[in-house]
Chains A and B, each alone.
Chain A
Amino acid sequence: MGKLNRRDFIKISGGAAAGVMVTPPLTNIFQSFITKKEKHLLEGEATKVSTVCEVCFWNCAGWVYKDKEDNIRKVIGNDIDPHCNGRLCPRGTGGLGMYYDNDRLKTPLIRVKSTDGKQSFRKASWEEALDVIEKGMKNIEKKYGKESMALLFHGKTGPHFEHLFKAWGSDTMGEPAGAQCLITREAGFIATYGSGLGSPEPTDVTNADCLVLLGHHIGENMHNGHVQDVSTLIDRGGTIITVDPRFSTMAAHSTSWLPIKPGTDIALLLAWMNIIINEGLYDKDYVEKYTHGFEELKQHVQKYSPEWAAGITTIPAGDIYKSARQMGGGSPRTIVHPGRHTAWYGDDTQRTRAIAILNALLGAWGRKGGFYFTEKVKLPKEAHPPFPKPKWTWKNISKEQHKMAIMGITNEIMDNGLPEYKGPYKVKGMFFTATNPIQSIPDEEKVIRVLENQEFIVVVDTMPSEITGYADVVLPEATYLERLDHIRTSHHKSPNIALRYPAVKPKWESKPGWWIAREIGLRLGLKDFYEWKDFEEVLDWQLKQVGSSMDEMKKVGVKHFPRKTPIYLKKDEDYWFNTNTGKIELYSTDFAEWGYDPMPTYKPHGDIPAGYLRLIYGRIPMHTFGRTLNNPNLNELKNEPKLWVNPKVARIYGLKNEEEVWLQNPKGKISSFSIKVRITERIRHNSVFLPHGFGNKGRIFVDGKLLEMHLTYGRGISDAEMISNVLIDPETGGTGMKNNFVKILIDNPYKKETTS
């Protein structure tokens, strides 16, 4: 099976599809319960089932409202849930569309070779599909060892398969949420405070007076609780300083917007430190009591004057002074937000370190209106035999060269699956759950070469995203509204737990992740690791250990527990930080030892090549990456992205609003699809903005019939496809993706090909 050329498959299916009509009527995708007559579900008539939202990683708790016919009618936030405070974001409100989506994976699929040589899938029974997986995984084990089967995962399904892989004997795993998103930020804060941030980030915005955002788009990323917190800051007339090359939503709501030249954030951060130290705006008692290396830092930042930074960042020195004084004036109720997707320029641990240091100077960590100390309920793990010890793990792949690789580095796990990889930690099989590496891991061509080189690929997902086209076996997972998952134990101001309970039976032949993982486990002889039949038994036992139960959680959805530790530092409290010195390390002793910069320095990243524009990508509030684009309710809010260009650029290229264009990167890669232009002053003149997640090109044939995410297939351009310049963060191995450039093509590049 490994011999099949997967790239050909994609090409063939794309070509063949041109002759296939793919226009299901709108009504087909519409909720089956809807008659055309307006019909309201009144509170008293509804049955409510507790859920935890999976439309994004914020995991808000809510209630699924069902009518008498057992149709899901709406999902509403749980009032006592601190992630959402009773209000879901658009994606959570529209989450039910994920359940009703008619393009979902409905049955297990097995790759076949059809008689005409084209590769496609056939519907299979669960029995058959699971047998193929058993055989495939055992084959990898026999040829290369269990370790060569890697797991890439995301979301609440992940833990079920982590358990499976660890029980089997492979710890070659990672999630794009690390190396492609927040690992650099976690590393920067761990190096400084001995502790990372986690999710939701413990920013005490509701008590802050000043909030500083660097390229962090609260309101466009709908990190629900944080959007709500910032709203209260606006109510109180607090100061918001937004640093962004794009006039973001939050920039518009800010006290001041600093339109920075992309890639120069560290210069600004160092200049801010310079002013805050030299003008004595830092929290002197706090710095003296809790930090290590202040004198070194003071010396270090002398050369980074605001006047110097003005030349680098294009922000006038006066604005740099003014904003630093605003931050100092608010101290200690100032938060310099750590951001979330921080994999930007390949020196991201250093940039987030600079943010961490700045917060320390302002005395924000452990203080009211700064960063609070979180507390979390610890649920005991169910008993099982000790996991076998693999001969090697993801740590062998990444830890040696990246000391701060605190979780599996997906891109390096992928690299070890390349045909040219000759080292001892070969990846020969891959298992994907709820993640689509075509969009989530940069450098698409390389990702595809890795996939083509695999001998066995399993995909577990709810939707036929691009990765399904590369699988040997595809398993349809139930959506979050149909399945039971681990209890959400969030670390927050008040420790709390939340229950996701299946509101309805899984549609079609889909199955919950726990069931799938267990069935595979039993086939691989891991009976001792699954001494339960239904995952509900595990949860009930866990809940009883902390004085609750399934019965109680079904009624309340969210349960709070009393805090045992203080939320802030007490005045003059002696506090030991989990670093070498026991202090907040302004000067990192670990980094000095490992040969990284012990204090952040500014290094230029290289400018825009002539004839190109910088590619800025980001979130839009109604979608979570590519996974929500085909949700009929959310697709309705935004079904097509636009390429933002500045009016100056439009004049040069002669572009009109809504004009169709293509993009090309410096390596010559041309976008698969076109995109319409939106001319707006909100984007810098030398950049374009592309909403992330679009440009879906996943198509498979099942028993000769096309299966695709038909509401979003071919709409817009995928930023991942255009990103070829990946800058690796030395401390973590994270992938900097913001130093990429594109050219706008006005003539259809594909039309030329067909006529010549």
Chain B
Amino acid sequence: MAIEVNKCVGCADCVVACQIENNVPLGYSRDWIMEHVTGTYPVLSMHFESQRCNHCDDTPCVRTCPTGASFVAEGGIVKVTHNDCIGCGACIEACPYDARYFHPDGYVDKCTFCDHRVAEGLDPACVSVCPTTCMHFGDLDNPDSEISKLIKSRENFTLIPEAGTAPQIFYLK
């Protein structure tokens, strides 16, 4: 996934779209908005980041899972098999992005990149509603995909790269 922070207005459409698409109980969320302001009035800069599970290439959450409920699905999407999850919370501790939460039903839940939509050729709900079209989804393994080319063409950053998890959401400046 790639997100253009120069266009994002922080409206949280991605947040509400995810909530509704995935029946995320109110009070919990799989994605959220962060506002970053630097400088002193009137010399300021600011950007918003729509954040969620980074679907890392190196996954401490999967490594720490004692039951195998957390796993990397084909295509690189990090998922949780709800029925196998015992709710021990080790993955929540291990995630540097705080992207997982305890679902009131007793399992750990997180962003799935809406793989049920992706399987039907649709974008994840968050990407599909974004009014600024600042979010892009595609195949990062294919260097010729639109998204790979987009990321290559732009200055970009990932969140907490020092955690060494090889996050797969790229923020484009």
Interface residues of chain A, those whose CB is within 8 Å of chain B, are 26, 29-30, 34-40, 42-43, 73-74, 76-77, 84, 87-90, 93-94, 96, 218-220, 222, 224, 227-228, 231, 234-235, 247, 249-253, 257, 259, 621-622, 632-634, 636-638, 646, 680-685
Contacts and interface: CB of A to CB of B under 8 A. Distances in A.
B139 interface: no
Which of the listed residues B9, B29, B134 has the most CB atoms from chain A within 10 Å of its own CB?
B9
A85 to B, nearest CB: 9
B92 to A, nearest CB: 18
A633 B16 contact: yes
Contact of B131 (A26, A222, A253): A222
A636 B23 CA distance: 13
Contacts of B20: 73-74, 93-94, 96, 633
A664 B109 CA distance: 45
Contacts of B117: 40
Please name the 9 residue pairs, one residue from A and one from B, whose CB atoms are nearest each other, closest first. Answer: A219-B9, A621-B11, A252-B46, A90-B13, A231-B132, A259-B42, A94-B16, A36-B105, A637-B12
A682 B44 contact: yes
Given A90-B11, A637-B16, A252 B45 contact: yes
B11 A682 contact: no
A39 B104 CA distance: 15
B119 to A, nearest CB: 10
B27 A224 contact: no
24 contacts: A34-B23, A36-B103, A37-B82, A38-B82, A42-B120, A43-B120, A74-B20, A76-B129, A77-B129, A84-B131, A87-B128, A87-B131, A228-B131, A231-B133, A231-B134, A247-B42, A247-B44, A249-B48, A259-B41, A633-B20, A636-B16, A637-B16, A681-B41, A682-B46
B14 to A, nearest CB: 8
Interface size class of B (residues with CB under 8 A): 35 or more
A293 B171 CA distance: 51
A88 B20 CA distance: 13
Contacts of B130: 87
A45 to B, nearest CB: 11
A42 B116 contact: yes
A633 B9 contact: no
A93 B129 contact: yes
B132 A227 contact: yes
B10 interface: yes
B26 A228 contact: no
Interface in B17-37: 17, 19-23, 25-27, 29, 37
B153 interface: no
B104 A89 contact: no
B41 A685 contact: yes
Contacts of B116: 40, 42
Contacts of B48: 249
A89 B13 contact: yes
A235 B7 CA distance: 8
B67 interface: no
A241 to B, nearest CB: 14
Given A89-B13, A90-B11, A633 B134 contact: no
B99 interface: no
Contacts of A249: 9-10, 46, 48
Contacts of A234: 6-7
Contacts of B40: 681
Given A74-B20, A681-B39, A632 B46 contact: no
B10 A621 contact: yes
Contacts of B47: 252
Nearest to A315: B42
B26 A684 contact: no
B3 interface: no
Contacts of B22: 38, 40
Contacts of A39: 23
A36 B25 contact: yes
A74 B27 CA distance: 19
Given A87-B128, A621-B12, 13 more contacts: A36-B103, A38-B109, A74-B20, A87-B13, A89-B11, A227-B9, A234-B7, A251-B44, A252-B45, A621-B10, A638-B12, A681-B40, A682-B41
Nearest to B38: A681
A251 B20 CA distance: 31
Given A90-B15, A94-B20, A231 B7 contact: yes
A90 B20 CA distance: 11
Given A34-B23, A681-B39, A253 B16 contact: no
Contact of B41 (A26, A250, A684): A684
B132 A26 contact: no
A218 B130 CA distance: 15
A87 B17 CA distance: 11
A301 B17 CA distance: 50
B23 A227 contact: no
B25 A253 contact: no
A224 B27 CA distance: 26
Contact of A253 (B7, B11, B39): B7
Nearest to B17: A93
B21 A40 contact: yes
Interface in B120-145: 120, 122, 128-134
Contacts of B23: 34-39
Nearest to A41: B21
Contacts of A684: 41
A636 B19 contact: yes
B100 to A, nearest CB: 15
A26 B12 contact: no
Nearest to A226: B131
Which of the listed residues A37, A90, A682 has the most CB atoms from chain B within 10 Å of its own CB?
A90
A89 B131 contact: yes
A312 B152 CA distance: 46
A633 B19 contact: yes
A648 to B, nearest CB: 9
A171 to B, nearest CB: 38
A634 B26 CA distance: 10
A224 B9 contact: no
Interface in B56-105: 82, 103-105
Contacts of B37: 247, 680-682
Contacts of A646: 41
B9 A632 contact: no
B27 A26 contact: yes
Given A43-B120, A74-B21, A634 B133 contact: no
A213 to B, nearest CB: 13
